[in-house]
């Protein structure tokens, strides 16, 4: 019984980018709202970053429900969202200080085995 439940959960709540289970169900829309708040201090590249991130986020129908807005029209985990933003910050050639600050607020590399190893 438990094995069947485990398989059902994994099939329904997999990230469409990394194919790992979504363990922090926060949708890209809510994360983007938080990103906009953080970017108020950086008007020089704010719009360019938001446009680049929006282009990289493809709509995906998922079954995972966001814990903030109850949206279930996504299947991208917060880790992959953060990785997308990090890559775009690099493409914009922002300072390491800005990347470090971004990760202070948006770090979903909880096991410190991914992008944290590079930036922190």
Residue 68, domain member (yes or no): yes
Query: Which residue bears the tokens 């903030």?
Result: 68
Q: Assess whether pLDDT exceeds 80 at residue 117.
A: no
Q: What percent of the chain has pLDDT over 90?
A: 60
Domain assignment of residue 103, yes or no: yes
Query: Could you give the CA distance from residue 98 to residue 104 in angstroms, rounded to a whole number?
Result: 10
Give the predicted TM-score (pTM) of the model.
0.83
In the chain, how many domains are there?
Answer: 1
User: Could you tell me if residue 47 is inside a domain?
Assistant: yes
In the predicted structure, residue 13 carries a pLDDT above the cut 70:
yes
User: Does the structure show a pLDDT above 70 at 1?
Assistant: no
The string of pLDDT tens digits covering residues 29-78 is: 999 999 999 999 999 999 999 999 999 987 777 778 899 999 887 889 99
């Amino acid at each position: 019984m438990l094995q069947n439940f485990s398989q059902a959960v994994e099939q329904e709540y997999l990230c469409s980018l990394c194919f790992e289970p979504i363990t922090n169900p926060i949708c890209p829309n809510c994360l983007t709202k938080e990103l906009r708040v953080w970017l108020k201090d950086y008007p020089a590249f704010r719009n360019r970053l938001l446009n680049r991130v929006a282009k990289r986020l493809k709509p995906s129908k998922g079954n995972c429900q966001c814990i903030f807005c109850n949206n279930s029209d996504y299947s991208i985990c917060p880790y992959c969202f953060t990785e997308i933003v990090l890559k775009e910050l690099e493409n914009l050639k922002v300072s390491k200080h800005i990347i470090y600050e971004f990760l202070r607020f948006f770090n979903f590399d909880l096991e410190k085995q991914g992008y944290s190893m590079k930036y922190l």
